[in-house]
Amino acid sequence: MAKKKKDPSFDELKVAAKELTKILDVEIKMAAISYDKLVKEVIAAGQMLDGEDELNELTEPSLTVLDKLGVTSSDAVDDEKPEPVDEKKEKSTILNNLSDVDKSGASKVAKELSKIMNLETPIDTNLGLISLVEEIESVGKMIAIDFKDPKTGEEIPATEKPSDFTKITLDFLDKIGVKPPWKKAKGKESSKVQKMKIHRFAMMIPEMVKDQFDELKSDISANGLKIPILTFQDKIIDGRSRYDACLELGIDLRFEEWEGKEEDLLASIISWNIKRRHLTAAQRAALAAELLPELEKIGKKKQKESGRGKRTEKSYRATEEAAKMTGTNKGAVTVAKKVKKESPKVFKEMKSGEKSIQQAKRETSKKKKEVDPFEVDPFVEMENSLMVKSKNFINLIEDYFDFLDETKLDVVLDYQDDLSKVLSLLKSIIS
């Protein structure tokens, strides 16, 4: 094939493509297609021309386009044809790479690509699966490719970034073999582009200490990422440390979508980490304390559905369930809950494994006693109770005297003077 001459314009390409489509009875898709893609399509079609008869059917402008693209007469009439592609086999391979979830989500991927790529003619989501995948593949190859304006010839740099697309779309493109040539972001922006959100349930799990993380990072550096990072609804549910290590090392990430039920997610996350991580007794108790609000919500929901149960019973069951899930006991959970409420700093140290349950308990008790003792002074409590009752008694006596004044009864009780003295005494005590 001869070397390319001056590039044809976009309009010239379209004219040639239409003529080749008519002569060869093939389909060249021109909707939502890039300049480079159309060039490839026209070259491929030009090389299919068989003999002088088909070549002579082309107009001069189309012949000029083929000449500019390096498709000469000798190429067009060459008897030697490329080996035919087994389309059925190719289509079967594409389908095998896609799960049922991928197939059902193909329309969403098409809509997202059409929107982000700002296509004048959006991908038709009513196409059959194979045709839809082919359209997605065609458009996907345009991602992050610099575009040449057909009118001005000006190079327009691509602006698409991985963060523009959902994980579902990126995974879909990967499975059909489309790997956009993403431009690396500079400095801190690189990690910002790739950073994924962590699911709130996974955030409850204590993070690895520095030594453990460094050991994990060394292993991944030497052996690669062995276990994929597990996600649910585009959020990481397992593998947060592996994810961070891969980002720091610049190693390719591998994700796998969890296919369980949402109501089983919390229990699954706890189970994976309790079995795999070597958490201290204090860390397990702290984890259980963080689980309580979620478990109480579940208990409340079940209670509402069944129409039975009391609040105290629900709270008790939540504590018991949290202890069971994390391999600790109710007493430890109660202590952790108290520490979390009264000293967040100590609770954080407890969760990281820096402090034991007893250390956290003692430190929290000590801090609490400096301002407000755990146990209320019984004498203070009795005095407060007496003050309340005295006020109530004063109000009662005054109401009685008001009643006598209002009714204007000429009655003098034997103990009226005594009541007056008691009233004065009580007022002097509480003043």
Per-residue pLDDT reduced to its tens digit, 198-219? 898 888 888 888 888 888 988 8
Site of tokens 């259980």: 288
Q: Which residues contact 181 (CB under 8 A, 6 or more apart)?
A: 144, 145
% of the chain at pLDDT higher than 70: 72
Higher-confidence residue: 14 or 378? 14
- Write the DSSP assignment of 389-414 as a string of letters: HHHHHHHHHHHHHHHHHHHT-----T
What pLDDT was estimated at residue 309?
Answer: 47
What pLDDT was estimated at residue 31?
Answer: 58
Per-residue pLDDT reduced to its tens digit, 88-133? 555 555 566 666 656 678 888 888 888 888 887 888 888 888 888 8
CA pair distance 347, 350, nearest whole angstrom: 5
pTM over 0.85: no
Higher-confidence residue: 356 or 402? 356
What pLDDT was estimated at residue 273?
Answer: 83
Q: What share of the chain is helix, strand, coil (3-state, %, to 5)?
A: 60, 5, 35
Q: Which of 126-135, 187-196, 240-249, 394-403 has the lowest mean pLDDT?
A: 187-196
Higher-confidence residue: 155 or 349? 349
In the three-class reduction of DSSP (H, G, I as helix; E, B as strand; rest coil), residue 88 is classed as: helix
In the three-class reduction of DSSP (H, G, I as helix; E, B as strand; rest coil), residue 229 is classed as: strand
Higher-confidence residue: 28 or 333? 333
12 CB-contact burial (10 Å; exposed 0-12 / middle 13-18 / buried 19+): middle
Query: Is the pLDDT score of 194 beyond 80?
Result: no
Query: Is the pLDDT score of 158 beyond 70?
Result: yes
